Structure 1
Amino acid sequence: MKRIYLKHAALALAAIPLAMKISAQDLKKFPAGAGPAEVGKRIAARFIATPHTNFGKPTPPRVITYAETCTWYGALNFAAVTGDKTLTAQLAQRFEPLFGSRDTLIPKPDHVDYTVFGSVPLELYRQTKEQRYLDLGKRIADKQWGPPEGPRVTAESHRFYGKGLTWQTRLWIDDMFMITCVQAQAYRATGDRSYIDKAAKEMVFYLDSLQRPNGLFYHAPDVPFYWGRGNGWMAAGMSELLRSLPKDNPDRPRIMDGYKKMMASLLQFQNEKGMWRQLVDDPASWEETSGSGMFTFAFITGVKEGWLDKQVYGPAARKGWLALTGYINADNDITDVCEGTNKKNDRQYYLDRKRLTGDQHGQAPLLWCATALLR
C-alpha cells in the first residue's frame, strides 16, 4: 500500500503544471511558448522578414528609424547570446545595401534619434570584426561629441557643448537610451573609456534635471506626465549604461542611486497582471507593451547583475515577461504598442494615442528582455 501511495503521489506531482513548480523569482525556467530562446528567435525572424519600417506609415522611411535601430540592435544581441551565427549573418546581410546603393538610408548623426543608429554597425563589428563596421560606428558616435554643426544647431546646442555635454542634448527622457546606447557600444567595441565616461556624465545631468522625487520622469520639463515609454527609455538606458560602466567611474554611484530609485517606484506601479500603463501613475490609462517591455528589461538586468534584490524584483521581472508574451499574436507581432509620440502638455493626448500592432517600438524590448534573460 505504501508503494502504491508513493507512486500515485509521484504521478500527482508530475501533473502539477510547470509554472506551479517554478519559484516565483525564477528567471531561467518558463512555461512552453514563453521561453526567452524560443520567443527571441521568433521575434528576430519576424524582424528579418520585415522591410524597413516608417512609424506605422505605409510608405518606406527616408532613413532608418530609431525604432528599427533598436530592434536591429536587440536582434544582434540575441544572436550573440545564443551563438546563432546564421542570425548574425542575416542581420549583416540586411546591412549590406547600406554600404552600397542604399547608403542614403543611413541617418545623418545630427540628432539623438539618428545617432543611435551607430549602435548597429558597432555591434556588427563586435561580432564579425569587419573594420568597415567599426569605422562607420565610430564616425557616428564621435559626431555626437564633436562641435555643433548643421541646420539643427541652436543657441542651446552651443551652451550644452560648452558644458562638456553633447550638443545634441535636449532634455527629453528618450535621449537617455539614444545617447547611452551608442556611446556604450563605442566603448564596448573600442575599449576607449572616453565614450562611456561622457555618456555617464550626460546621464547624471539628465538625472539631476529631470528625475522627480518619486523616482519617475516627466516626459520633458514642460510636460508633467509620466509617459510609459518615455520612462521606459530612461529605465533601459540606465540599465545599458550601468551594465558596462567601469566600477571606478565617479558618476556610477549617482547613476545607480537614480536607477534604484526609479526601480522602487516602478515596482509599486506594476499591476497584478505584470504590466504598466500608458501613463505610469494613471489607473485610467491603458496597459501598454513597449514601456512594459523596457521596465521588464530593467528589472531583469538589475536582478541578473545583482543590483536588485532577487526575492523582491525577481517575481516582478518574471511576471512582466510572462505578461508580455501574452500580447504576441500569431504573426509574432506584439500588440498594444503606443504609436510614435511627441511631447504635449495634455493628459488626453497620451490617453488617445493609437495602439499599434507589430510596431518596432514594441518588438525591440521583447528582444532586449529575451537576451537579458539568457545573458
Structure 2
Amino acid sequence: MRKSIFKYMLIICVGACAAFNASAQGKEETDLKNWPKGSSPKEIGKKVAELFVVTPHPNFGRTTPPARITYPEICAWYGSLTFAKASKDKELTKKLAVRFEPLFGKEDTLVPLPDHVDHTVFGAVPFELYMQTKEPRYLAMGKHFADKQWGPPEGFRVKPESHVYHAKGLTWQTRMWIDDMFMITAVQSQAYRATGNKVYIERAAREMVVYLDSLQKPNGLFYHAPDVPFYWSRGNGWMAVGMAELLRSLPKDNPNRERIMQGYKTMMASLLKYQAPNGTWRQLIDGEDSWNETSGTGMFAFAMITGVKEGWLSDPAYKAAARKAWLGLVSYLNEKGEITEVCEGTNKKNDRQYYLDRKRITGDMHGQAPVLWCATALLR
C-alpha cells in the first residue's frame, strides 16, 4: 500500500516538475526583457552605435568618400540616436551631435538635396537631434527636408509623372518603389513627432495606402518590382519598417490607420511562416535554398518587436519569433560590432539567380542600422 502511494506521489511530482519546466521554457521563449550574456539590446546597441560614431562617412563600399551623405548612413545615424534616447545615454547623443556639427559648416556640401526619396530621408536625423537637444537649428533643417518633399516639383530629377503625383496630393518624389515607404514615412513621421503638426503624418499615411493598394500581394509580401516577381528580403524590409514606424505615431482616429494596420498584419503573418530555424529570414524570403540575410532580418525583427510592444500582435507566436529573430541577428555580429551576411546594394533584375549570387558583405550600414533599430525597439 505504501509503495503504491509513494509511486503515485512520485508520478504527481514528476508531472508537476515537467509542467513547471514547460511553463518556464514557454516564458523564456517569449521573454523580451531577459537575455543571454552578451546579447542584451543595451549592450549590443552601445557597441554598434559607438562603432558608428567613429566610422568615416561611407560610400556604398567604395574607398572614396561620398559626395553626399548616403541613405544607409542616415539610417544608422537615426538608429544610433534613437538608441541613445531609449538607453538614456546622453553622452552618446553628444557624440552623435558632434559628428553632425561639420554639416553646418566646413562639410555642408555633404548635406543632400531634398530632390529624391533617398536624399530627403536625411531630414529624419536633424529632427531626432532637435527632439533630444531642443536646438532650433536642427528643427529648421528637418522641416526644410520634410516640406520640400511635398512642395512643388523642382530640380533636374523632376519627371512628367512628378507633376501627376503632386496634383494628386502625393509627394512629387513618388516612384512606386518599395524602398520609398521607409524613406518617405521616416522623415514625415519624424516631422510630426518634432512639431505635433498632423499634416506630416496624415500625408505619409495617404501615401502608404497608395503603395499598399498598388504593390502588396495577397500574401502580404512585395515583389522587388512589378516586373521582378521575387520577394527580396531587404526590399520587403523597407516596407515592414515603414509601416511599423508610421503606425507607431499615427493617431488612432486617422482614417487610413485601419488599412495600414491590415497591410502590416498580413505581412507579419506571412513573415512568421517564412522565418528560418535560426531566427533569421532569407535573401529571398520564400526560398529555402537561399542564404540567411541580416539586413532584411533586422528590419523584419524591428517591425515584429514594435508590433508586439505596441499590442498590435497579440499572438504569443509573434513574441517568440521576435525573441528568436533578435538572438539570430546578433549571432552574426563580429567582435568589432559589425554585422555579417549583409546583401550588397542591389538593383532589380528578373533573374532569381542574380539575387542568390549577390555579394555578402560585413559592416555595411544597410545592416548596421536595423540592429540599432531593434535594440531601440526592445528598450522602448
TM over 0.5: yes
Corresponding residue for 2:205?
200
* 1:235 correspondence with 2:234: no
Corresponding residue for 1:7?
none
Unaligned runs of 5+ residues in structure 1 are 1-15
Q: Shift of residue 336 of structure 1?
A: 0.3
Corresponding residue for 1:11?
none
> Retained in 2: the 8 A contact 1:25–1:310?
no
TM-score between the two structures when normalised by the length of structure 1: 0.94
Corresponding residue for 1:88?
93
Corresponding residue for 2:326?
321
Distance 2:187 2:57 in 1: 20
Corresponding residue for 1:110?
115
Distance 1:173 1:352 in 2: 21
Amino acid at match of 2:72: A
Aligned pairs for 1:62-211 within 5 A: 62-211=67-216
1:85-105 Cα offsets, whole Å, 9 max, x none, are 100000000000000010010
* Rg (Cα) greater in structure: 2
Corresponding residue for 2:6?
none
Query: Quick one: which of 41, 46, 55 aligns to 1:50?
Result: 55
Distance 1:21 1:313 in 2: 13
Q: Shift of residue 359 of structure 1?
A: 0.2
Corresponding residue for 2:290?
285
* 1:356 correspondence with 2:356: no
Distance 2:190 2:310 in 1: 18
> Retained in 2: the 8 A contact 1:275–1:292?
yes
User: What is the number of residues matched between the two proteins?
Assistant: 359
Regions of 4+ moved over 3 Å: 19-22
Distance 2:226 2:170 in 1: 18
Q: Shift of residue 310 of structure 1?
A: 4.6
Determine what percentage of the aligned residue pairs are the same residue.
70
* 1:271 correspondence with 2:276: yes
Distance 1:371 1:224 in 2: 33
Corresponding residue for 1:347?
352
Unaligned runs of 5+ residues in structure 2 are 1-20
Distance 2:207 2:248 in 1: 16
Q: Shift of residue 355 of structure 1?
A: 0.5
* 1:224 correspondence with 2:223: no
Q: Shift of residue 21 of structure 1?
A: 8.7
Query: Quick one: which of 31, 35, 38 aligns to 2:36?
Result: 31
Q: Shift of residue 353 of structure 1?
A: 1.0
Distance 1:257 1:312 in 2: 18
1:221-247 Cα offsets, whole Å, 9 max, x none, are 222111000000000000000000000
Distance 1:348 1:148 in 2: 38
